[in-house]
Chains A and B, each alone.
Chain A
């Protein structure tokens, strides 16, 4: 399966979704285009109201785009009703049928497809095994726990063997420990079934740990698509850098750009090498970001200088907040060791040394 060239499971072409009209007109999606490959764990990440659920609903067929096209394996599915799309959804609230048993819920899709009874039973048994729920087949959905309901919802959506599985914040109702468990479970299911997963979440950590690729959304637009590594280490825009992980924003000027790398002159006058986001136009001031773990606090020297303001101990590491001489606060994350403290006291002078590949210039 893996040596076949990756083709697009879903292709969204310049799709807009407008709600209301006149003054109440609101574009939930604004000319969004994205390609989702086959067998991919693809995540739509963004804060609430960014349009990620709207995009999912358009792919599922619960809503229709105001403009644009949606292709599934090259076929335009935008005009099809949801029951004619080989796509299934795991709902945020699970939406299990309360008047049916666990097994009846899982078999519902196959029954509606008109599969023979023997095939349905075999497939339901297989699905129950896949999500480890064999014991509870005859239970009503109101008689099982939240985590179990989640598994039933997954099994129900996977049973008809959809080409694409849509997951709308399926883990948000679970407690922390169960959520961690289900994250691993979801990855396992995706691996075992080989089905394309499109996962919607507002949890950046969930997105980073689970996805093959992530699309970061804000205000009805996709800002950046890339691997978790791309998104975290090479954010293109301020929103992406800010939404995912912790970031230090610095201002400076950039010149000498070649092969996506340039020289960034910081406020202190020192120049450091920096990778440049695609689409960056050098016109005066630029925003340079440095992740807290890509910098070090040093007693003397360094690229920037300031005064230690607060020290926060996190167990695995320590965050040192340094008030720069230019006025901003710069956070440094240092790994802890058992024998030594971080070496700084509040009020100490400190230099900040940025790692050789630690700086990234944003396009906005």
Chain B
């Protein structure tokens, strides 16, 4: 008996060992490519900045972290709130939130339209939605610039129609960044929404109408609750890259309207403040994590607690 149990235990241990061995390559990649660099960043954020960029190795400093929110007055050396950083942080959060809401508003009817087409035409519509992905983000952003700049399509058309006399200043405003982000991230909202709507049983919609629910009530009480997983997935997929957007605010927002991505780039580039750049990067990651946690908790609570 005892020997049999022992052999079984040995066999099990052997199996566990082999399983670890087989997953070693994957683990190495995860550590070297994903977790390792995070620790490097974390370490850099706690070091003093070098005079020409980089960091002073081994010199511990909290300056990187304090300057995320505060700045030292150059005359009397007192700490004050870093207004510029706060406004960039606020702009990032605000624009990412608006982008998520707008892509949801435009994406929802789009996904609904596609999922109500006959099966063979659905694939064509999904394919059309993904076409913008074939073009580089940089080029798509410049294309957007062509549309909204002072001599661009929109302004030329509006002037020609006599609606305005002078071109609207859209470029280098938050509106330009928002337009760019909504355009670029819309497919990321449409695709997960479509995936959940495709599974929606439209007989439930008919049952709703049959039970005296108006179109709006069917939308709120039946369709939205049932496609909620898609709404959550789409919102996460749009909100996270929006928060870290770099190319779009750089081109459409100009130098003045920065978002977090641009601020980080600035610190590693001409700002020559790597510890600050590292600290902001980690802050950004923490914000994304918080956003994810809030969503996940919300999703599980409303999913299980309904009854």
Q: Could you tell me which A residues sit within 8 Å of B by CB distance?
A: 60-62, 81-84, 87-89, 91, 93, 95-101, 104, 108-109, 112-113, 138-140, 156-157, 160
Complex CA gap A108/B203 in Å reads 15
Looking at the complex, which one of A62, A97, A101, A140 makes contact with B204 (CB distance below 8 Å)? A97
Minimum CB–CB distance from B292 to chain A (whole Å) comes to 23
Stretch in B39-47, B208-216, B266-274 with 4+ CB within 8 Å of A: B208-216
- By the criterion CB–CB under 8 Å, are B307 and A112 in contact? no
Please provide the 10 A-B residue pairs with the shortest distance between their CB atoms, ordered closest to farther.
A109-B211, A95-B207, A112-B212, A82-B209, A95-B203, A112-B213, A101-B307, A99-B225, A89-B210, A83-B212
Complex CA gap A352/B208 in Å reads 58
Q: Please name all residues of chain B whose beta carbon is closer than 8 Å to the beta carbon of A97 when the two chains form the complex.
A: 204, 207-208, 222
Complex CA gap A101/B201 in Å reads 17
Q: Is B154 an interface residue (CB 8 A)?
A: no
- Considering only CB atoms, which chain A residue lies closest to B224 in the complex? A99
18 additional A-B residue pairs with CB within 8 Å, beyond A97-B222, A112-B214: A61-B209, A62-B206, A62-B209, A82-B206, A83-B209, A83-B211, A88-B210, A89-B210, A93-B201, A95-B201, A95-B203, A98-B204, A104-B307, A108-B213, A138-B307, A140-B307, A156-B211, A160-B212
Q: Please name all residues of chain A whose beta carbon is closer than 8 Å to the beta carbon of B214 when the two chains form the complex.
A: 83, 112
Minimum CB–CB distance from B204 to chain A (whole Å) comes to 5
- By the criterion CB–CB under 8 Å, are B207 and A112 in contact? no
- By the criterion CB–CB under 8 Å, are A83 and B210 in contact? yes
Q: Is B17 an interface residue (CB 8 A)?
A: no
Q: Please name all residues of chain B whose beta carbon is closer than 8 Å to the beta carbon of A108 when the two chains form the complex.
A: 208, 211, 213, 221
Minimum CB–CB distance from A223 to chain B (whole Å) comes to 28
Complex CA gap A66/B68 in Å reads 68
- 5 A-B contacts, Cβ less than 8 Å apart? A62-B209, A95-B207, A100-B306, A112-B213, A112-B217
Minimum CB–CB distance from B239 to chain A (whole Å) comes to 24
Q: Please name all residues of chain B whose beta carbon is closer than 8 Å to the beta carbon of A89 when the two chains form the complex.
A: 206-207, 210
For window 266-307 of chain B, which residues contact chain A by CB distance below 8 Å? Answer: 306-307
- By the criterion CB–CB under 8 Å, are B204 and A160 in contact? no
Complex CA gap A327/B306 in Å reads 69
Looking at the complex, which one of B201, B207, B212, B225 makes contact with A113 (CB distance below 8 Å)? B212
Complex CA gap A89/B203 in Å reads 11
* Range of interface residues on B (Cβ < 8 Å): 10 to 19
- By the criterion CB–CB under 8 Å, are B211 and A88 in contact? yes
Q: Is B226 an interface residue (CB 8 A)?
A: yes
- Considering only CB atoms, which chain A residue lies closest to B302 in the complex? A99
- By the criterion CB–CB under 8 Å, are A60 and B210 in contact? yes
Q: Please name all residues of chain A whose beta carbon is closer than 8 Å to the beta carbon of B213 when the two chains form the complex.
A: 83, 108, 112
Q: Please name all residues of chain B whose beta carbon is closer than 8 Å to the beta carbon of A101 when the two chains form the complex.
A: 306-307
Complex CA gap A113/B221 in Å reads 14
For window 178-210 of chain B, which residues contact chain A by CB distance below 8 Å? Answer: 201, 203-204, 206-210
Complex CA gap A101/B217 in Å reads 18
- Considering only CB atoms, which chain B residue lies closest to A166 in the complex? B210
Task: Give the A-B pair count, Cβ closer than 8 A.
Answer: 68
Minimum CB–CB distance from B81 to chain A (whole Å) comes to 46
- By the criterion CB–CB under 8 Å, are B207 and A91 in contact? yes
Complex CA gap A104/B214 in Å reads 17
Q: Please name all residues of chain B whose beta carbon is closer than 8 Å to the beta carbon of A88 when the two chains form the complex.
A: 210-211
Q: Please name all residues of chain B whose beta carbon is closer than 8 Å to the beta carbon of A61 when the two chains form the complex.
A: 209-210
Q: Please name all residues of chain A whose beta carbon is closer than 8 Å to the beta carbon of B204 when the two chains form the complex.
A: 95, 97-98
- Considering only CB atoms, which chain A residue lies closest to B202 in the complex? A95
Minimum CB–CB distance from A126 to chain B (whole Å) comes to 17
Q: Please name all residues of chain A whose beta carbon is closer than 8 Å to the beta carbon of B212 when the two chains form the complex.
A: 83-84, 109, 112-113, 160
- By the criterion CB–CB under 8 Å, are A81 and B209 in contact? yes
- By the criterion CB–CB under 8 Å, are B226 and A98 in contact? yes
Q: Known contacts A98-B226, A99-B226, A112-B217: does B203 contact A160 (CB below 8 Å)? A: no
Complex CA gap A97/B221 in Å reads 10
Q: Please name all residues of chain A whose beta carbon is closer than 8 Å to the beta carbon of B217 when the two chains form the complex.
A: 112
Q: Which of B207, B225, B226 is most buried by chain A, counting CB atoms within 10 A of its CB?
A: B207
Minimum CB–CB distance from A24 to chain B (whole Å) comes to 13
- By the criterion CB–CB under 8 Å, are A95 and B211 in contact? no
Minimum CB–CB distance from B143 to chain A (whole Å) comes to 41
Q: Known contacts A100-B306, A140-B307: does B203 contact A112 (CB below 8 Å)? A: no
- Considering only CB atoms, which chain A residue lies closest to B211 in the complex? A109
Q: Please name all residues of chain B whose beta carbon is closer than 8 Å to the beta carbon of A98 when the two chains form the complex.
A: 204, 226
Q: Please name all residues of chain A whose beta carbon is closer than 8 Å to the beta carbon of B210 when the two chains form the complex.
A: 60-62, 82-83, 87-89, 157
- Considering only CB atoms, which chain A residue lies closest to B214 in the complex? A83
Q: Please name all residues of chain B whose beta carbon is closer than 8 Å to the beta carbon of A83 when the two chains form the complex.
A: 209-214
- Considering only CB atoms, which chain A residue lies closest to B201 in the complex? A95
Complex CA gap A83/B206 in Å reads 9
- Considering only CB atoms, which chain A residue lies closest to B205 in the complex? A95
Complex CA gap A61/B204 in Å reads 15
- Considering only CB atoms, which chain B residue lies closest to A81 in the complex? B209
Complex CA gap A93/B202 in Å reads 12
Q: Please name all residues of chain A whose beta carbon is closer than 8 Å to the beta carbon of B207 when the two chains form the complex.
A: 89, 91, 95-97
Minimum CB–CB distance from B220 to chain A (whole Å) comes to 11
Complex CA gap A330/B226 in Å reads 58
Q: Please name all residues of chain A whose beta carbon is closer than 8 Å to the beta carbon of B206 when the two chains form the complex.
A: 62, 82, 89, 91, 95
Complex CA gap A98/B225 in Å reads 10
Complex CA gap A140/B57 in Å reads 60
Minimum CB–CB distance from B253 to chain A (whole Å) comes to 41
Complex CA gap A34/B117 in Å reads 34
Complex CA gap A101/B306 in Å reads 8
Minimum CB–CB distance from B4 to chain A (whole Å) comes to 42
Q: Which of B209, B210, B306 is most buried by chain A, counting CB atoms within 10 A of its CB?
A: B210
Complex CA gap A104/B307 in Å reads 9
- By the criterion CB–CB under 8 Å, are A91 and B203 in contact? yes
Q: Please name all residues of chain B whose beta carbon is closer than 8 Å to the beta carbon of A156 when the two chains form the complex.
A: 211
Complex CA gap A112/B307 in Å reads 19
- By the criterion CB–CB under 8 Å, are B203 and A99 in contact? no
Q: Please name all residues of chain A whose beta carbon is closer than 8 Å to the beta carbon of B221 when the two chains form the complex.
A: 108
